[in-house]
Amino acid sequence: MPRVKRGTTSLKRRRKILKATKGFRWGRKSKERLAKEAILHSWSNMFVGRKQKKRNFRRLWQTKISAGTKREGMSYSYFINVLKKNNIGLDRKSLADLAEHQPEIFKKIVERVK
């Protein structure tokens, strides 16, 4: 059986880890052991962050819609409830955009709901 030297495989693995930690601070970008630990933590935080982003945007949209409905003398929860009852299929993202950038169109939607 021929002799197998593993230098290239190890080097590839190390370079892959160090490439992924580019931009990290202190030894976490250059020392293999610290980089490996840092990359494991960063990947788990990345996953959590993607979930939190969706949460945060939904909260932002709700706040914008709430501000828009308050101007028209209506509460957010009542507005959403009546939208659902009337089968108006606008999502929160588009409603928030209308409330912020085109208040006259949003006002027409609110009056239709009233």
Q: Report the pLDDT value the prediction gives residue 1, as an integer from 0 to 100.
A: 84
Residue 4 has pLDDT above 90, yes or no: no
Report the distance separating Cα 26 and Cα 82, nearest Å.
Answer: 55
Angle at CA 62, nearest 5°, toward 58 and 64?
Answer: 115
Q: Report the pLDDT value the prediction gives residue 114, as an integer from 0 to 100.
A: 84
20-73 residue pLDDT tens: 999 999 999 999 999 999 999 999 999 999 999 999 999 999 999 999 999 999
Residue 5 has pLDDT above 90, yes or no: no
Where do the domains of the chain lie? 11-113
Give this prediction's pTM: 0.73
Q: Report the pLDDT value the prediction gives residue 109, as an integer from 0 to 100.
A: 94
Q: Does domain 11-113 have CATH number 1.10.1900.20?
A: yes
**Total residues belonging to the chain:** 114
Other CB atoms closer than 10 Å to residue 98's CB: what's the count?
A: 20
